Amino acid sequence: MKKMKLAALFAGLESVFTFSSCVNDGDSGPNYDLYEIVTVEDGSIFGGPVLKGDAWGYTYTPVASSVLAGLKASDGSYYKRVQVGIKLMEGEAITEGKKSYKVSEVGLIAILNYKDFNVQADTLKNEYALVSLEDSNNKIWAINGYVNVPFTFKTKEQLNMNDFHLYAVEAKEDTLVTRLRQTKGADDAYQTGGALISFHMPFNDMEFRDIFNQVVPKSDTIVVKVTAKGENDKELVSTVKCSASNMQGSY
């Protein structure tokens, strides 16, 4: 079987995990059929835990719950966003038009940084300039209810993902405008760091939902626009198109 990798999202991804360490370097262990960034759905909708892939929109169903044992945190819950290697069940093959596959083995490579959107922008008192809203390998992408933002920042101290917040600003026709904000830092910082955070859209929050519902999709497609304060009073902007129904169907 031809091996498939998610080149655009996967290449160099571990290097931007400033806040999460790599779990497995991928050089040893099974010869996986695919490498994916996935969202772990806990089974409340599907009847059992499944993986929803970012790259091709595939759904991966384990042949047994034990297949996903390596994706559990110490409290027994599943990590929501992970980078994994996937071995398909014997007899399964990637087929054009097929979107669901059974899997016999899943290996955890890395845990992505993930958190909810901030739903109260007025509580964020500071805003420091970011360097960019992308890195050498990745630009933003949105799927399965997550807006995934790679970015570069300046710092004089160790930061974590709770020092960065994404929130909805407004709806403009088919576009959801959001703002990424660094709230801890220093104006004279000169060291740079890179990170990738998956921000989950909080559809259970009325304020966010009211803004999102004002977006008018075009053939089920919406635009997510991420803005941020840049250096020298520059406004940073990055946009991505995604499926409106896919984003809403994840909560």
User: How far is residue 132 from each of residues 118, 180, 229, measured CA to CA in Å?
Assistant: 20, 11, 9
Q: Please report which helix (H) or strand (E) contains residue 245, including its range.
A: helix 244-248
pLDDT at 18: 36
Residue at 9: amino acid letter = L
pLDDT at 70: 95
Task: For residue 234, count other CB atoms closer than 10 A to its CB.
Answer: 11
SS3 231: helix
Provide the whole-model pTM.
0.86
pLDDT at 170: 97
N- to C-terminal Cα distance for the chain?
A: 34
pLDDT at 29: 53
User: Does residue 146 come out as left (phi exceeding 0), alpha (psi in the -120 to 50 range) or beta?
Assistant: beta
pLDDT at 147: 97
pLDDT at 44: 56
pLDDT at 219: 96
pLDDT at 46: 53
Angle at Cα 203 formed by Cα 120 and Cα 222, nearest 5°? 100
Taking 70 as the pLDDT cut, the residues of the chain under it are: 1-30, 43-46, 136, 249-251
CA dihedral sign, ordered 77, 79, 84, 90: positive
